[in-house]
Structure 1
Amino acid sequence: MNERATLHSLVDALLADRHDLLTNYFAERGARLEALVWSPERTVCDCPQIAFLIDYWQNLRNGTDLPPVDSISPFGMKPALGHIVLIDMVDDGWDGVFRLYGTRVAETYGADMTGRRISEIDGGNYVSLFFRALYRAASLRRESLYTHHFPPPHVAVESWQRIMLPLCDAEGRVTRFLCSNIAGPWRPPHARTKLPSPAFTTA
């Protein structure tokens, strides 16, 4: 299956809530999709930064469908600073450009992705395709989304938790996402089943 066909199949699975297909997608690559929750509550996980951003986004909605892109402020997001990622949708939502890549996220990943595309994550591997599908589907559903996945055992970071909160332009189109990526513990080399990955390989 080529890249575009894989993207379409993942988006279709997300739109249809076919968690079995998504779980298999990860399992076939030695990884695990632990959770995928649409419109999550602040109690979806124990990460204070994610809980804060869910509350912040809900308050910005103020009874509307989605908050506008110009409603967010760095001064209002201090409890999550360093973990915040802003992504501008491009190619009709099939890809995204990192407008802001939090310093703590960059430290863990090993590179600042600001100005680069989602499709560039780890050379466009399986998780890059999955993330592109997530943002495309969330744009179409106009919903927030939480995910928690465990990479293959050779990857240095044990897990990633992610919140994706859509923002709209003046015409009501989803054009940006307010996100937070929280890394799990580092795995010592003896706990990995394959050759150690470079530290920046966290997908």
Structure 2
Amino acid sequence: MRDEFIYASISADDSNLQRLLPDTRNYTLRNYAISAVRNADLDINQFIHPQHRCLVDWFRSKYRTDIDGVIYKLFDPLDVKPALGTIVVLEPTDDYADYRYRLYGSRVVDTYGADLTGRTGGDLNTESTRNVRPQYQASARNNITVYTEHDRERTRELDKITRWDRWSRLILPLVNEENRVKRLIVSMVATEIPFNSA
């Protein structure tokens, strides 16, 4: 298990935040690492991927200290064009036990082979949704930004040689005026791991 991120520099030093996150040993994701940052402390310089930097820049421009967040109704996908294909918008249920996919980015569709817009995590109940549900719940229940990395086998290769992608997932909570999380903006970026380096 890795204990550092290679595509973000988010410190895991805050034990109060780390206690809010799922234990990586409970899930089947390969090289799963997770950390969190308070919304007020989010910094564009913590991220390498331009899609994540774009979203963090947008989030910081709309952030309000009085509600420790961004009003969900302010999100317009056209404001974050560089990140569009990687974005998944989730609408959590009132108890945060499940979520509905309101938008499923084209690059994510290309990778997974299906558009899940309109579906719920509970409808699918796949190994993948069971692995990511606790990440989304931690962000929504605690109104914190969550960042994860894990490796996933690349299955759509013609040469049949085992290859892996490193998935970097940034989860930003959006709130209503009462500081209740109403949407999660998730940017999922896959980076091919150089052959024989996994």
Q: TM-score per shorter chain, which class?
A: 0.7 to 0.9
1:1-203 map, 5 Å? 17-18=18-19, 22-26=23-27, 29=28, 31-39=30-38, 40-64=42-66, 65-90=68-93, 92-120=95-123, 123-125=125-127, 127-151=128-152, 157-185=164-192
Deviation at 1:90, TM superposition (A): 1.4
Which residue identity lines up with residue 108 of structure 2 in the other structure? Answer: V
Task: Output the TM-score relative to the length of structure 2.
Answer: 0.73
Cα separation, 1, equivalents of 2:99 and 2:22: 24
Q: Structure 2 regions of 5+ residues with no counterpart?
A: 1-14, 156-161
Cα separation, 1, equivalents of 2:62 and 2:21: 33
Cα separation, 1, equivalents of 2:170 and 2:22: 21
User: CA separation of 1:153/1:21 partners in 2, compared to 1, >3 Å: closer, same or farther?
Assistant: farther
What is the root-mean-square deviation of aligned Cα atoms in Å?
Answer: 3.1
Aligned sequence identity (%): 28
The answer (yes or no) to whether the contact 1:69–1:168 under 8 Å persists in 2 is yes
User: CA separation of 1:15/1:139 partners in 2, compared to 1, >3 Å: closer, same or farther?
Assistant: farther
User: CA separation of 1:153/1:15 partners in 2, compared to 1, >3 Å: closer, same or farther?
Assistant: farther
The answer (yes or no) to whether the contact 1:31–1:152 under 8 Å persists in 2 is no
**2:116 is paired with a residue of what secondary structure?**
coil
Question: Which structure has more strand as a fraction of its residues?
Answer: 2
Q: Structure 1 regions of 5+ residues with no counterpart?
A: 1-13, 192-203
Question: Which structure has more helix as a fraction of its residues?
Answer: 1
- Post-superposition Cα deviations, 1:182-203, rounded to whole Å, max 9, x if no partner, equal 1121788xx7xxxxxxxxxxxx
